[in-house]
Amino acid sequence: MQTKSLAMRRVRDVISMKPAGLPSREIVRGMGLVPSTVRLITRRFEARPELVCPTN
């Protein structure tokens, strides 16, 4: 259960950083993720226009 909330937190963080203008490389370095993971998260989010960017 704990890993699910951590994964969702990371997804939420990536989604909120992208519109803020941070390049993918900075997100990868800052969060310790693999570039393909950041790409996958942003593509899935952009494919669903009904989703809204979360605010912290």
Q: What is the pLDDT of residue 31?
A: 92
Q: In terms of Cα–Cα distance, which of 44, 56, 43, 47 is closest to 17?
A: 56
The structural domains of the chain, with segments of one domain joined by +, span 2-46
- Local structure of residue 55 (DSSP, 8 states): -
Q: CB neighbours (10 Å) of residue 35?
A: 11
Q: Is the pLDDT of residue 35 over 90?
A: yes
Assess contact for 45 and 15: CB atoms under 8 A: yes
Q: Is the pLDDT of residue 48 over 80?
A: yes
Q: Is the pLDDT of residue 18 over 60?
A: yes
**pLDDT, mean of residues 29-43:** 91
Assess contact for 12 and 52: CB atoms under 8 A: no
Q: What is the pLDDT of residue 3?
A: 57
This prediction has a pTM of 0.74
